[in-house]
Amino acid sequence: MPGMNVQPAKYGFVAALGLAQLVSWGVLYYSFPLIAEAMINDTGISRSSIYGAATAGLLLAAAMAYPVGTLVDRGHGRKIMVGATFAASLTTLLWSYAATAPAFYAAIITLAGLQATLLYEPAFAVVVRQLNIQQARSAITAITLWAGFSSTLFVPLVQSMLDALGWRGTLLSLAAINLAIAAPLYYWAIPPATTARNVTPPKTVAANQPSLSPILRQPTFYLLSASFCAYMALFSGFTYHLYPLLVARSDDTQSVVLAIALIGPAQVGARVLILLFKKITIRQLGLLTGITFPVAIVLLKAPPSTLTLVALCLLYGGANGIFTIVRAMAVPELLSRHYYGRINGIMLIPMSLARAVAPWAIAGYWTHTGSVQGAINLILGLALLVPVLFGLAINTRRRNC
């Protein structure tokens, strides 16, 4: 995996964090839909109940995001990420032995909540603490490339374990993988607080900086926030329901698993590809990738075939991989180069809520109507909102310039 211009001395730090992120995403995120489907078939627990618990956990993650980020900024990244990895393994272990619905729900809520302590944002905060800005940008790109392979590895791995071990045995195996790989990597990669290399002391001039209110009053801010909320709802809802939606429309489970496994390489390939087109702006990139989302979802309405499965997953994976970068860079290009952390923090509140509610809402609608096409239409509506709202944000920005 390329170090993306990170100095050789830093490469081990970046590679270890990247590999640990690959495992964390696989255990906490990509394995859930497959295990949930196996639980539904085995226990009779309703889909809406399971995804309702996941929604509650994501709301917990939203509440935890700011304090976790603050603690990482203060140098407690190693304690948080290693401790959270142990907690995730213990919860996964207990989930495998759970025999009642409340125990299932408690495990699901806890694991979803722990996403705030392990997935992307805390790792990025650790990187920023250790490296200068140019190195941090390259390191974060490299980490997303590592993590992009998580679905490629874990979807077929989890499916194979489900076939061989059942969902309880699969959970035991995931707990062991997480503890054996991710925990030591986080401990080795993240230095103690006293060795932070890029910590800037608080500056008294910060108190004299101009107010955020003019930026927050811009229509562009609200339209951009709405576009990102639609994206997060699409990403969360579609990712959680992609496997059961595809299985409901196709009897070939192996083809479904193999197609989903292409999402990771598509994400990585798209991120590498845009490095070759440095002149393309974030505005152009956002519109192009935004339009790709509904094009991909429309393929769910096409007659099921291996070709449409592959095309859907490649288009969605590529667009998702690039839009992650668009979301990171749109604020300085469309709003302000100042207050980056504060603006993103404000945006993150409704985005987290959208991410939390979408899987539950789609599951509830699907359960209530019993219609696969209805669930697809709901997801398609979210996909259409992303480019429409992003385009309106660009348009209002041009008028205000």
Q: Give 336-380 as a DSSP string.
A: -SSSHHHHHHHHHHHHHHHHHHHHHHHHHHHHHH--HHHHHHHHH
Q: Regarding predicted confidence, which is higher, 126 or 23?
A: 23
Write down which residue in 125, 156, 191 finishes a domain.
Answer: 191
Other Cβ atoms closer than 10 A to 194: 6
What is the structure's pLDDT at 251? 63
Task: Evaluate whether residue 199 is within a structural domain.
Answer: no
Q: How confident is the model at residue 9 (pLDDT cuts 50, 70, 90)?
A: very low
Pull the structure tokens for residue 284.
Answer: 């152009």
Give me the mean pLDDT over the 196-223 stretch: 64
pLDDT of residue 340: 56
- Claim to verify: residue 216 and residue 180 sit in the same structural domain: no
Looking at residue 35, the DSSP 8-state letter turns out to be: H
Q: Residue type for 39, please?
A: M
One domain, residues 278 and 131: no
Question: For residue 57, is it within any domain?
Answer: yes
**Total-model pTM:** 0.72
pLDDT score, position 316: 95
CB 303 within 8 A of CB 250: no
Give the single-character DSSP code of 100: S
- pLDDT score at 210: 47
**CA 209, 215, 216: angle at the middle one, nearest 5?**
115
234 and 152 both lie in a single domain = no
Indicate whether 183 and 222 sit together in one domain: no
What's the pLDDT score for residue 8? 45
* Gap between the Cα atoms of 291 and 289, Å rounded: 5
Mean pLDDT of 114-120: 89
**Section 262-270 average pLDDT:** 87
Q: Is 157 exposed, middle or buried, given 0-12, 13-18 or 19+ CB atoms closer than 10 A?
A: buried
CB atoms within 10 A of CB 163: 12
Regarding whether 226 and 183 lie in a shared domain, the answer is: no
The stretch 60-81 carries a mean pLDDT of 83
* Number of structural domains found in the chain: 2
289/368 same-domain check: yes
Q: Is it the case that residue 82 has pLDDT exceeding 50?
A: yes
| Selection from 167-181, 233-247, 278-292, 362-376 with the highest mean pLDDT | 167-181
Is the same domain home to 222 and 130?
A: no
Q: What CATH number has the domain bearing residue 69?
A: 1.20.1250.20
225 Cβ contact partners less than 8 Å away, ≥ 6 residues apart = 346, 347, 350, 351
Per-residue confidence (pLDDT) for residue 93, from 0 to 100: 96
In a domain, 196, yes or no: no
284 plus 398 within the same structural domain: yes
Q: pLDDT tens digits, residue range 296-317?
A: 999 988 888 888 889 999 999 9
- 29-38, pLDDT tens digit by residue? 999 989 998 9
Least Cα distance to 47 among 367, 380, 327, 389 occurs for 367
Residue 232 and residue 169 share a domain: no
- 159 domain residue, yes or no: yes
Q: Distance (Å, rounded) from C-alpha 183 to C-alpha 188?
A: 9
Asked whether residue 71 is assigned to any structural domain, the reply reads: yes
By residue range, what is the domain housing residue 324?
212-401
DSSP sequence for 271-291? HHHHTT-TTS-HHHHHHHHHH
Question: Residue 337: what pLDDT?
Answer: 61
Q: Are 145 and 103 in contact (CB under 8 A)?
A: no
pLDDT of residue 133: 58
CB 362 within 8 A of CB 241: yes
What mean pLDDT is predicted for residues 215-235? 92
d(CA 317, CA 28): 19
Q: Does pLDDT of 268 surpass 90?
A: no
Residue 298 lies in a domain: yes
| End-to-end Cα spacing for the chain | 41
Average pLDDT in the chain: 84
Residue 341 in this model has a pLDDT that exceeds 60:
no
- Shared domain for 234 and 265, answered yes or no, is yes
Residue 201 falls inside a structural domain: no
Domain membership of residue 202 (yes or no) is no
pLDDT over 90, % of the chain: 38
Which residues neighbour 197 within 8 Å (Cβ) at sequence distance 6 or greater? Answer: 129, 130, 131
Verify that 152 and 288 share a domain, yes or no.
no
**Whether residue 308 is found in the same domain as residue 225:** yes
Residue 256 is predicted with a pLDDT of 86
Residue 3 confidence (pLDDT): 44
Other residues' Cβ atoms within 10 Å of the Cβ of residue 56: 17
